Amino acid sequence: MMIKRLRTTPGKILLAIAAAAVILLVRFCMQSAGESADPEEISVRMDAAPARLNPFLSTIGADIYVCARIFQSLGDLDPATLELTPLIVKSLPSSRLVQDGPHKGELAYDYELLDEARWDNGTPVTGKDVDFSIKIAYHPLLPTKAFGSYFKELSGIDLDPSNPKKFTVYFRKYYMLAQESMALFPVLPAYHYDPAGRMAAVPLADLLDTSKTGIISGDPSMKIFADEFQQPKFLNDPNSISGSGPYKVASMNDQGAILVKKENWWGDALSKKYPILAAYPKRLVYKVVKDETVVENMLVSGQLDIVAGSLSPARFLEMKQKDSLNTRYDFDLLPALQYNRWLFNLNKPVLKDIQVRRALAHVIDYNHFINNIRSGLAVRTVSNILPAKRYYAKDITPYDYNVEKARELLANAGWSDTDGDGILDKVLDGKPTRLVIEVLVPSVRTSQQYAESVTQTARLAGIEIKTVPTDITEINPKTKNGDFETTFLGATLFPGLTEMRQRYHSSNLAPAGDNRSRVADARLDDVIDRIGNEPDEAKRDQLYLEAQHLLHEILPEVFLFAPYQPIITSKKFEKVITANRPGYYEQMFRLK
């Protein structure tokens, strides 16, 4: 074999060395600036680390948002239009009236799963997996009642014996969110989460029959399944978390989580036909960064691509003015799809008195909250329905900041300052009681500022506010279990019709449901029931108005404002931001 010798001049050598030096310098500068070595990696700032990656057992936003990249539902919301669109089914069907058979007179929805939809072990996603997942929502020994409340009118499911990809779901009568409930319901692989097939042995009809709840609860097999389903490995062990989505867990700890794209994921071949299946980055890196100064430094050094969550409006506006950031990042304000509230626990003795709750509503300096703490990036709201909605109760006069009115209400309720210490007191349930209200305050700067303000203004009315700093990951279990008196808490809303059942109906009292205020009012229950089953839009709107007036009167929580969503995203990417929470579809980001 002959080897040809290349002739090289000293000039060429120097040129090559210079070129190599430039390449090394560029690489060094990129690494020094914190740029990811992998251009297909997206770094997302989060307020808290995901800890329960099971969509049925998730407790905080971080859990829910990360789960959405691992698990899938029948459909999803289009990021631009917020309309439902098929995800793992060929289409989202309209209802049809059943003409005969055991479901005669009911409404049916016929689905067919995508032929290509597969689980991690290569087996197809089938109707049996959907059946299994729905059963989880009705398992009496699992804390999944909040899911079941969306299926109040569900009467059954039929699997097509000739095609495992086809199934039909039945509802006894019209329910306004029947299609949305089915489309956004998470589907889990039965083979993985129930390898012994215990749930397959129990018909869905039995789980739907409340007269059989006791029998099912006492079934040893059902108890074993409930225990196994809730074991830690299905919550935080990367090797045991499995869905049909494009990503799997590589690692997770209290600093965040890393998801990696699955090789040869089935959805890649369909993403042109179904854009909602698009998943471009090879890695999704979720980083817990609570300190806003650290957030800014990480943006400057290029270590973050997406910043959303609880970033304070003042810091957002301040960073937006800095050329070192606005030339490399886009600063957007998204419409509000959430509201902030001062949540009350109506089981607590002091808060059972409506006069006390109304007094608390009058000691809030709402203008300070919105104009100063939120830097004007919020709008006042009087209910859990966003002001932009057609059926928002514009005729309700919101509670105002009025210390004298608060004092008057408390005096009428028998509170007075008998010992001259500036704090009102009275004999309550036979015991001398000072008017001290405990507030759980999340470790978020804006929430701390709300608490600081209320502490000062409430004192003017003779109320002592006792603030209890609490990590955001602890707020959820405490409010679910009733281990709180009040707290400042945000609430995410569905872009479509507003469902009030979860938060305000007595059938959903926490911890089984999501009614954390423990409000139980027969009038409110009745209106909420009628809203869900009213097909006439005009009549339903009137019922919404009635429900909002009742909430304003009963006051299980003080509705503070609906905030705009500030979001910062790197200009390096073609991106998909959305009004839907959390404000971005990170799996759709790709390098320009």
pLDDT in tens, 303-357: 999 999 788 899 999 999 999 999 999 999 998 788 999 999 999 999 999 999 9
State residue 59's pLDDT score: 82
**Three-state DSSP state, 423:** coil
Q: How far apart are CA 90 and CA 30, in angstroms?
A: 44
The partner residues of 118 in beta bridges, in order of sequence, read 124
Look at residues 184, 46, 207, 191 and name the one whose alpha carbon lies nearest to residue 129.
191
Domain check: are 313 and 346 in the same one? Answer: no
* 366 within domain boundaries: yes
Residue whose C-alpha is closest to residue 460's, from 574, 586, 364: 364
**Quick one: 581 and 546 in the same domain?**
no
Residue 289 inside a domain? The answer is: yes
Q: Residue 137 to residues 3, 44, 361, 368, 384: CA-CA distances in angstroms?
A: 72, 31, 36, 42, 25
**Which of 221, 255, 282 finishes a domain?**
221
Which residues, in sequence order, are CB contacts of 444 under 8 Å at separation 6+? Answer: 47, 290, 310, 472
Residue 152 — very low, low, confident or very high, per pLDDT cuts 50/70/90?
Answer: confident
DSSP, collapsed to helix, strand or coil, labels residue 36 as coil
CATH number at residue 556: 3.10.105.10
Residue 283 has pLDDT above 90, yes or no: yes
> Which is it for strands 75-77 and 464-470: parallel, antiparallel or unpaired?
unpaired
Same domain, 273 and 213: no
Tell me what pLDDT residue 150 has. Answer: 83
Percent pLDDT > 90 in the chain is 84
CATH for 146: 3.90.76.10
Of residues 59 and 216, the one with the higher pLDDT is 216
Do residues 269 and 418 both lie within one domain? Answer: no
* Residue pair 178/95 in contact by the 8 Å Cβ criterion: yes
Domain count, the chain: 3
Q: Are residues 432 and 570 in the same domain?
A: no
514: in domain: yes
* CA separation for the pair 181, 501 (Å, rounded): 13
Quick one: 396 and 352 in the same domain?
Answer: yes
pLDDT at 432: 94
Residues 213 and 286 in one domain: no
Return the SS3 of 25: helix
Same domain, 145 and 276: no
Residue 37 has pLDDT above 50, yes or no: no
Residue 273 sits in the same domain as residue 381: no
Q: Which amino acid is at 195?
A: P
Q: Please check whether residue 198 is in contact with residue 222, taking contact to mean a CB–CB distance below 8 angstroms.
A: yes
Treating both helix axes as pointing N-terminal to C-terminal, what angle do 292-300 and 313-320 enclose, rounded to 10 degrees? Answer: 20
Q: What's the pTM? A: 0.86
Give the model's pLDDT for residue 34. 40
**Which tens digit of pLDDT belongs to each residue from 366-414?**
999 999 999 999 999 999 998 989 999 999 999 999 999 999 999 999 9
Show the beta-strand stretches assigned E in 172-282.
186-187, 247-253, 256-261
Roughly what angle, to the nearest 10 degrees, separates helices 522-532 and 537-554?
Answer: 160
Q: Which domain covers residue 379, as residue numbers? A: 338-563
Q: Residues near 297 by Cβ (< 8 Å), separated by ≥ 6?
A: none
Q: Which of 438, 416, 441, 460 is closest to 350 using CA atoms?
A: 438
The model's pLDDT over 219-271, given as tens digits with 9 standing for 90+, comes to: 999 999 999 999 999 999 999 999 999 999 999 999 999 999 999 999 999 99
High-pLDDT (> 70) share of the chain, %: 93
Residue 46 forms part of a structural domain? no
Q: Is the pLDDT of residue 22 over 90?
A: no
pLDDT, position 2: 33
Q: Which of 515, 499, 411, 504 has its CA nearest to residue 463? A: 411
Residue 8: per-residue pLDDT: 39
| Residue 41 reports pLDDT greater than 60 | yes
Distance CA 468, CA 457 (A): 17
Residues 491 and 416 in one domain: yes
Q: If you average pLDDT over residues 565-592, what whole number do you get?
A: 93
3-class secondary structure per residue, 491-520:
EECCCCCCCCHHHHCHHHECCCCCECCCCC
Which of these, 442, 441, 457, lies nearest to 399 by C-alpha position?
457
Q: Is the pLDDT of residue 20 over 70?
A: no
pLDDT band at 562 (very low <50, low <70, confident <90, very high): very high
**Residue 60 falls inside a structural domain:** no
DSSP secondary-structure letter at 283?
Answer: E
Other Cβ atoms within 10 Å of 523 Cβ, number: 12
Q: Based on the domain organization, do 488 and 413 belong to the same domain?
A: yes
- Domain presence at residue 14: no
pLDDT tens digits for range 102-141: 999 999 999 999 999 999 999 999 999 999 999 999 999 9
Using alpha carbons, list the distances in angstroms from residue 140 to 135, 146, 171, 235, 530. Answer: 10, 12, 21, 20, 26
Whether the pLDDT of residue 213 is over 70: the answer is yes
- pLDDT of 373 reads 95
CA distance 461 to 413: 14
SS3 at position 259: strand
253: domain CATH number?
A: 3.40.190.10
**Tens of pLDDT, residues 288-301:** 999 999 999 999 99
Q: Could you tell me if residue 412 is inside a domain?
A: yes
Specify whether 434 is located in the same domain as 292. Answer: no
Q: What is the mean pLDDT of the chain?
A: 91
pLDDT over threshold 80, residue 148: no
**Is residue 8 included in any domain, yes or no?**
no
Looking at residue 39, its pLDDT comes to: 58
